[in-house]
Structure 1
Amino acid sequence: MYLRNIYKIKTQIKWFNTRQVVNNNELGSIDNQTYVIVIQCHSNIYLLQQLLSSLRRAFFINTALIIFSHDHYSYKMNQLIKTVNFAKYMQIFYPYSMQLHPNAFPGAEPKSCIEGFPCVKADYRDPEAAQSKHHWWWQANQIFDHLRVLKNYTQPILFLEENNYVTEDVLVVYRLLIYTRDIHCPFCEMISLAAHDPDLPRYRRRRTVVAMEVWKNSMPRTAIAFDRKIWHNIKIWKEMFCYYNDSNWDQSLKHVGAEKWDGNIYLTAIDGPRVFRVEECDPKDAGCKLQNKVEDVKKFIKVIKKQLYPLSIKIKVTAEEDFNYTASGYWTDVRDHELCMQFANGSVWY
């Protein structure tokens, strides 16, 4: 019965990925004026619901295309996404998920080097962490190089995650950052809407500051945007990304920048973040409730509401700080290297 369910899911995934259906086309065509937003989804329906609730209120969202990139097939999540009527959207599914490979690579193998089993010739492998890096790399390859609807799209693409929450002016500020980057920082490879922590005094003091700065190790990976030109520069060094012994896609990307892009990846970032990350609770922490974490973000946004929609900006260029980071490991399995390279070398939809 379980194998039959996996087969059904694989069939559905193949249908979604090969058809590439765009929903809500009545909202307009897709061109370089369209905001393209990718949401990397796992299995937390509640958090995705909160993100969609915040996106629904975003100014200009009716001109956007939202691409939901899943690594878990869920009927309930699909039903939630069907309620999206405020933007064009489509769904794609990572075809090598743990859900589809519960007892074999790239999932958790009973005899592989995972927690609880002795490892002799390899380091501990975390299948969930590996999936996160594989999924991000797969979706970037597919979206920039193999998604039909975006074959002529040249603007930056914004990458979010299901545990994000946005302000209503997120796309206004995003467009402002694109314009500012193009004029004042053409060497900045990426745009960030969440490079800094949501500290209230800092927010009020520096809410109109746009910084040209290094993507430092302390900064989050949330709400990063870049275009196809930058993507092709990344893919040139695909071996460096795929073989770097770190299961975090963002640290692997920073490593490429440190080695091949004059020592750093540079951001054009807003000091007052427009995208917030909802910290998920530790299952062992009985006193932590996810709903409270979401409410904390909502309260913060309510307090800063009058500081949204900047009428002017100040540009700040920070001193250079080279990327200095020790790889976190968990990425020594040669099969992870090969799968990563497979995604870079060709279209993989199923």
Structure 2
Amino acid sequence: MRWRRPLKRLLLLLMFVCMTIKLHLELRLLDSSGERVLFPWRTNDTARNTASLFGYPQREEEGVARAGGQAAAPPGTRDGREGMNLQEYFARIKTSLAGGVRAKGPGQANSTNKVKPADNVKGNSSVINPSQKGDGGSAPSQTKTNVPPKSLPSGRKPLAPAQGSKYSNRKLTNDNSEAVKPAIRVPAKPARANPRGAVNKRASAQSKKGVSHDVDTKEVSLTQQDIVRIKMELELENKLQTVYNEQQFGPVLANTSILLVQVHNRLENLRYLVEGMTKVRGIDQALVIFSHDFWDPDINAFVTNITKFRVMQIFFPYSIQLHPLTFPGRDPRDCSWNINRKGPLKCLNRAWPDSYGHYREASFTQIKHHWWWKIHRVFEGLHVTRNYTGHVVFLEEDHYVSPDLLHVLNILRRQRNALCPTCQVLALGNYNKMSTAVYRNYIERGDWWVTKHNLGFALDKKAWKTISTCKEQFCNFDDYNWDWTLNNLEHTCFKPKMTMLSVRFSRVVHVGSCGTHVKKNSCDVRREVQAAVSRFNGGKQWLFPPNLVLQANYRGAARSKKGNGGWGDLRDKQLCRAIGNGTASEETLLRLQFPERE
């Protein structure tokens, strides 16, 4: 028996050597091919977009003019801002936030008030049934006005638009018929010169790992006129708080189960989630709230055309899309994310680094801001939850749910008084990968281990009150992840700790391997959904249990660790506090453009 441990170590060593050789060969192939597309953070898009917004002439590398005939900036200038004082700079930011016509920078006679767009190609999601074959690849975008809508699959009938929907005329339904979006094209950029003639192999290695901290061009492709218009529509939608299909399914009651879905811009993932929701028993008695941090008319139309259950949409007003080049978006004073975690960073004005020496990356901080806003909004700012006594299930657009999701939630609510009266969290999801025969209809109780139960957990208003008492610590903890932040509060602030009842056979599966943190050459959402459906089918005998069985073990949460960073900027902390206090507004953002240092 003693030979097993050395053999295991030898096998692990061989695996490590093979992976190292494979990575080395791939990097050599990448360097020899001269490809630069895998590490786009080496370009200077953010600085150029900043110059475009505020009217500064755009600087070109080594005097090379941009496509379109624009002349390069004269040597020795710094984005055309020589001679500009602080008052002029602040005035231009204020004009930008107010949606007015931007001032023209020195040396620029005429310029269009438009942030540079980029290619925006929707993924192909023409088939929602996971059993049907397909590679789930993306299809080229086409101009919508020239392409007729695709016919529905055989045997399916088009769904009627939701009652009162202002998107009723859009050719988009929730049966996963393909949304064809107009292509947004930009001229090709000249390759950035490398004076040393060397390739940044460390950055290339990071790209090979699939980590990307580049700017999402879809979030900076709106003109200022578009931003002003969308802000007005967004504010109106948040005030109306329309519940669609209420006439068909009845009003929302004080104990109605609510599913709260955080949505960004992945319509294909969202289609699969909604398709799974339509199969959930009792979904017609629930309310599904979609919380958006990206304004997309196709996504909005898709949601309001849902007919199988009641829906509502809320919109995060402090998104990168609506503030692309000012805080809380990518402010000119922000620095790039330091993926190498060492070495000085070159930026216009060094802002506040986090505990690792990183500087602010807006796409990450938005996730935490949005989560904090949506939970505050649902429990404090909606008419339908004013006297709410039920549970809110937290989901995201890249989740897939089992058909007995609400059935299990009701059992947990019923058995909580007998099994764990102090449990404030009902966890319906986890990342357990073993056979469903191992987990069966077992549940366990213990401390809320947030990072392992951050999908499909349910909170009531009492649990929200516990979290809100620690809002100061939530906003100060140096981590851009809301779940790692809550896990820290579990050990440092919640007195006593928040406890949970959790199912072992997860009723929620994460099917979004491609997202904010991970980029892949090919993302097959359909295949991931097929795997989730197969898992639920394989455990069919454990679905819809008459009751749940408590196992004897009691689990404690993971130890509190140092945050992952990305939350060192004082402005993020102040905006977070304003959201928690219910005082956040556009005036708050304007005031945070030039805050005092702590």
* Fold match by TM threshold 0.5: yes
Work out whether 1:207 is the aligned partner of 2:428.
Answer: no
From 567, 573, 577, give the equivalent of 1:341: 577
Residue 234 (structure 1) aligns with: 467
Contact 2:272 2:400 in 1 (8 A): yes
Q: Which has the higher strand share?
A: 1
Residue 333 (structure 2) aligns with: 111
Q: Find the aligned partners of 2:308 and 2:433 in 1 and give their Cα distance.
A: 27
From 28, 35, 52, give the equivalent of 2:257: 35
Residue 532 (structure 2) aligns with: 297
From 217, 230, 241, give the equivalent of 1:9: 230
5+ long unaligned stretches in structure 2:
1-113, 115-222, 339-344, 587-598
Q: Find the aligned partners of 2:373 and 2:519 in 1 and give their Cα distance.
A: 32
Report the Cα offset of residue 191 of structure 1.
1.0
Residue 74 (structure 1) aligns with: 296
Where 1:319 maps in the other structure, the secondary structure is strand
Where 1:101 maps in the other structure, the secondary structure is coil
Change (3 A) 1:246 1:258: same
Q: Find the aligned partners of 1:247 and 1:42 in 2 and give their Cα distance.
A: 17
**TM-superposition CA deviations, 1:211-238 (whole Å, max 9, x none):** 1122336514111111111111211111
Q: Summarize the alignment of residues 34-53 of structure 1 with structure 2, pairs less than 5 Å apart.
A: 34-53=256-275
Work out whether 1:88 is the aligned partner of 2:310.
Answer: yes
**TM-superposition CA deviations, 1:51-108 (whole Å, max 9, x none):** 0000001000000111110000001101111221111111000000000011111111
Change (3 A) 1:189 1:312: closer
Q: Find the aligned partners of 1:284 and 1:185 in 2 and give their Cα distance.
A: 41
Structure 1 residues 41-50 or 186-195, which shifts more? 186-195
Where 1:336 maps in the other structure, the secondary structure is helix
Where 2:554 maps in the other structure, the secondary structure is coil
The aligned length equals 348
5+ long unaligned stretches in structure 1:
none
Q: Report the RMSD for the aligned CA atoms in angstroms.
A: 2.0
Where 1:268 maps in the other structure, the secondary structure is strand
Structure 1 residues 101-110 or 117-126, which shifts more? 117-126
Contact 2:244 2:312 in 1 (8 A): yes
Change (3 A) 1:66 1:287: closer
Contact 1:166 1:274 in 2 (8 A): yes
Q: Find the aligned partners of 2:442 and 2:235 in 1 and give their Cα distance.
A: 45
Report the Cα offset of residue 288 of structure 1.
4.3
Structure 1 residues 174-183 or 3-12, which shifts more? 174-183
Contact 2:450 2:486 in 1 (8 A): no
**TM-superposition CA deviations, 1:323-350 (whole Å, max 9, x none):** 3122111111110000000011126587
Where 1:272 maps in the other structure, the secondary structure is coil
Contact 1:142 1:347 in 2 (8 A): no
Work out whether 1:165 is the aligned partner of 2:400.
Answer: yes
User: Larger Cα Rg: Structure 1 or Structure 2?
Assistant: 2
Residue 327 (structure 1) aligns with: 563
1 or 2 for the larger relative contact order (CA 8 Å, sep ≥6)? 1
Q: Find the aligned partners of 1:218 and 1:346 in 2 and give their Cα distance.
A: 27
Change (3 A) 1:185 1:74: same
Work out whether 1:145 is the aligned partner of 2:373.
Answer: no
Contact 2:364 2:480 in 1 (8 A): yes
